[in-house]
Structure 1
Amino acid sequence: MQVLKTGAEWQKIWLQSLQSQKIIGFVPTMGALHEGHLDLIRNSKKSNDITVVSIFVNPIQFNNQEDFDNYPSLIKEDLALLEKENVDVVYLPDPQSMYPEKPVLSMHFGDLESVLEGAFRPGHFSGVGIIVSKLFNIIRPHQAFFGQKDLQQVAVIKRMVKDLSFQTEIITVPTRREEDGLALSSRNLRLSKEERDASLILIESLNLAKNELLAGKDWLAVRNQIQQKFEDEPLANLEYFELINPDNFQVIESIAQSKASSICVASYIGNIRLIDNLPIIP
């Protein structure tokens, strides 16, 4: 496994892979790796000759400085995991090499950034778009792998790839969960035992709402039921619980309104913000 700090180091390997007609898979991460990340890596290794994993905590996608400052950093442990998974290349740039100057560019994603994560985290998707664009320009992968847990982020990246004509196929990998259903997230490391127990309200609410909808219950009634459930949990502070069309991320009021539908949720558990989603009609 090669650990690279600069794009110039990767350029030499990329030229060799180009000459050898190697297919490159890419998994961008912010570190604090878990089994969900490893699922992405394993999917890449199945369909690509070379798998590259980046670790970079991107400062411009955080609109909360405290959240950025507290984001888990486990580089030594992450590298050991990647070595065990037989990753070919780890790209580990420092902030100065990625942002020698503060970016003046911003990205806008229309209606995609006006709801849910975009509404509650202004500027977040611009930061995501800029860093993913930079990484795609450096790595130039044939395929890139992202988790379904960040469903709106995947939609934004797919839009960016389409609009900017990146020659990269975006592969979405299903959410990996703990045995009790909690979606794996690097942020879970920051939960206390009490908060970890309380965090199950996300998946419990998603499952309950899905079952109620499929049984024919009205969405407004379902959402009111879920909001009361969150109000009854003292450690939870619900931001949104919405039924959406995953193709365009528009909020809908009935599963009959769209060929596909998913429920998305975001909530603080204590001081930790968690998100999750569940397809109703894939």
Structure 2
Amino acid sequence: MPMRIIRQKAKLQAQTRDWRRSGETIGVVLTMGALHDGHLSLVRAALARADRVIVTVFVNPRQFNNPEDLENYPRTEESDARTLAPLKIDTLYVPAPEEIYPSGFSTTVSVSGVSDGLCGGDRPGHFDGVATVVTKLLLQTDADYTFFGDKDYQQLQVVRRVANDLDLKTEIVACPTVREEDGLAMSSRNLRLGSGARATAPVLGRVLESAANVIGRGGNVSQALETAHQALLVAGFDKVDYFEVRSDPGLLAIETADQPARLFAAAWLNGVRLIDNLPIPVLTQTTNSAQLCEPA
């Protein structure tokens, strides 16, 4: 059957009830659209795991703390549908805002701990918006599995915490970051980079890798972070929001990489905020980034 495009929650839930009566499992990939190969890797993982697959496209206003960022976020529903068609998913769910936040909606899902600092510090309210919309969409889609990439690693930990704390039945499946050939982590925001900025953007991944290797070999953490910060500015980045080492998976701020840890960065380039992260390759630690998607 061809992919169905559904916009109403009631129609979606009628569909999922039919699947349940047939004993079928449901995998969901949650997106804000402007789909790229990173999203498609999650869709393929869902197709391999579940009997039925739903992809959602919803630009969630509650996770934007900057109105201009919300206004400029790419909206490409028609091309997204064309991109998904060859994969033969079952349903593309594109809800209107009132399907997610009906009149009188007044509930917020808030996660402490793993949401502190990093993007949570620079974008007040962002992870409350993420946690709320993810909870809503997982309940609306009746998902058995949902798939998230390592690139938004703090978001992944927030979603894991929501599912665990609220006893959601959905299994959170983590998948590795997908990169362009030049090393830039794929992101819908990359569409907003001009050609000059796009040529500079891969420096973020290279600087992260260099700093992670220095720290992993026992180098001074503070010095490695300062060197990386300056390297981004010299390369042409406008501002660095953070360049930090955090424990993995707890995301606690640490000053020495004597435990499983990751290196996180967020920096601005030509008005676009780019984020990335890498595990610190200490010989005694393992990482959460595998070649195949793994249950959280």
Q: What does 1:240-279 align with in structure 2 at a 5 Å threshold?
A: 240-256=242-258, 258=259, 260-279=260-279
Closer, same or farther in 2 for the Cα pair 1:98/1:149, shift >3 Å? Answer: same
For the residue of structure 2 that corresponds to 1:235, the secondary structure is coil
2: distance between equivalents of 1:109 and 1:35?
29
Does the 8 Å CA contact 1:261/1:279 hold for their aligned counterparts?
yes
Q: Deviations over 1:114-137 (max 9, x none)?
A: 210110001000000111111011
Find the aligned partners of 1:77 and 1:119 in 2 and give their Cα distance: 34
Unaligned runs of 5+ in 2: 282-286, 288-296
Q: Does 1:37 align with 2:39?
A: yes
Q: Which runs of 4+ in 1 moved over 6 A?
A: none
Within 2, Cα distance between the matches of 1:35 and 1:132?
Answer: 21
Give the gaps of 5 or more residues in structure 1: none
Instruction: Give the aligned CA root-mean-square deviation in angstroms.
Output: 1.1
Q: Distance in 2 between matches of 1:32 and 1:45?
A: 20
- List per-residue Cα deviations over 1:75-130 (Å, max 9, x = no partner): 11100111111111111111122222364323332222221011000100000011
SS in 1 for 2:24: coil
TM-score (normalised: structure 2): 0.92
1:16 aligned partner, one-letter code = D
Partner of 1:142: 144
Q: Which residue of 2 aligns with 1:235?
A: 237
Q: Give how far 1:74 is off.
A: 0.9
CA distance in 1, matches of 2:158, 2:126: 11
Distance 2:105 2:11 in 1: 23
Deviates more, 1:184-193 or 1:222-231: 222-231
Sequence identity (%): 37
2:132 aligned with 1:130: yes
Mean Cα deviation higher: 36-45 or 190-199 = 190-199
Q: For residues 220 and 253 of structure 2, what CA distance do their matches in structure 1 show?
A: 15
Q: TM (normalized to structure 1)? A: 0.96
1:105-254 matched pairs, under 5 angstroms: 105-254=107-256
What is residue 24 of structure 1 aligned with on the other side? 26
Contact map agreement 1:31 1:55 (CA 8 A) in 2: yes
Could you tell me whether the CA contact under 8 Å between 1:115 and 1:250 is conserved in 2?
no
Choose which of 79, 82, 88 in structure 2 pairs with 1:80. Answer: 82
Aligned mate of 1:14, from 16, 21, 45? 16
Is 2:98 the partner of 1:101?
no
Asked if the contact 2:110/2:132 (under 8 Å) is kept, the reply is no
How many matched pairs? 280
